Structure 1
Amino acid sequence: MSDYERIRLVILGGAGVGKSCIIKRFLMNTYTDKYRSTIEDLYNREYDLGHMTLKVDILDTAGDMQFPAMRRLCIATAHAFLLVYAVTSAPSFDCIKQCFEEIREQRGDYQDIPIVVAGNKLDLTSTHREVRIEDVSEWVYCELPKLRFVENLMISWALLPRSWSD
């Protein structure tokens, strides 16, 4: 039996920002514009890295605060975070700021945890944009210099080696 490592990636963000769509596009290369509220979905994938197998659990969380105990548990058990906001919604950016505060409060090791901030719904900015990239960059720089920010996640994932995104 080969060696393996398991990691848990937790996706946090407000309701309707596209967390589930990002996950399904990445894992299954599918997309739907029909909205279905998520309570919590767990996706598992294994990636053969040659010298080991990487087992990834991707936790798709609820976009609202109806389940605070579940949210605390997923923050406590995460190895990495993807904080998603919609560039068309200023309140969704405020929501990821709150998510980050929860991570900071619950995890003493938050500075060592990989955290990516992702702006979604970039395709809708020709008609409507509420979150300026400068505001996000400033917040990321001030809060945690190790934090990473990407606005076009689908293009960024397309640049991953094929063995990771198959």
Structure 2
Amino acid sequence: MPEQSNDYRVVVFGAGGVGKSSLVLRFVKGTFRDTYIPTVEDTYRQVISCDKSVCTLQITDTTGSHQFPAMQRLSISKGHAFILVYSITSKQSLEELKPIYQQVLAIKGNVEAIPIMLVG
């Protein structure tokens, strides 16, 4: 996590159509989008209370495709926490998270100090 700062970057990864944007929009805006609109990359800011202080989450909703590997590496290098999303009806979407997790390991090094959440 960043030192001396209350700003945290959370990056959401997963295959196309697994619900990354719906999950993020539900958290940030309290709405649910049930239609599929492909995302290249969207960023949202959410102010939350954490440990009796105010924190800002910068949430990056990434593309579901692997067309932009440079953007993926940049998102990982800047990220403080990661949410890996898959569809419970698609084993393939879970398998697609393995190389992303490996890339987080390679870029961040010791992931024991980095929050990583798997969401189905």
1:20 paired residue number: 21
Q: Which amino acid aligns with 2:110?
A: D
Unaligned residue ranges in structure 1 (runs of 5+): 120-166
Give the 4+ runs in structure 1 shifted more than 6 A: none
The CA deviation at 1:4 is 5.6
Unaligned residue ranges in structure 2 (runs of 5+): none
Whichever structure has more helix as a proportion of its residues is 1
**Partners of 2:95 and 2:50 in 1: how far apart?**
37
Whichever structure has more strand as a proportion of its residues is 2
Larger relative contact order (Cα-Cα within 8 Å, sequence gap ≥ 6): 2
2:8 paired residue number: 7
How many residues were matched structurally? Answer: 117
**Corresponding residue SS for 2:93:** helix
Two-structure CA RMSD over aligned residues (Å): 1.6
Q: Please, what TM-score do these two structures have when normalized by structure 1?
A: 0.66
Give the fraction of aligned pairs with identical amino acids, expressed as a percent.
Answer: 38
- Which of the two has higher C-alpha Rg? 1
Q: Please, what TM-score do these two structures have when normalized by structure 2?
A: 0.90
1:47 paired residue number: 48
**Corresponding residue SS for 2:12:** strand
The CA deviation at 1:52 is 2.4
**Corresponding residue SS for 1:100:** helix
The CA deviation at 1:78 is 0.7
The CA deviation at 1:100 is 0.5
The CA deviation at 1:108 is 1.0
Q: Which amino acid aligns with 1:89?
A: S
- Asked if the contact 1:84/1:117 (under 8 Å) is kept, the reply is yes
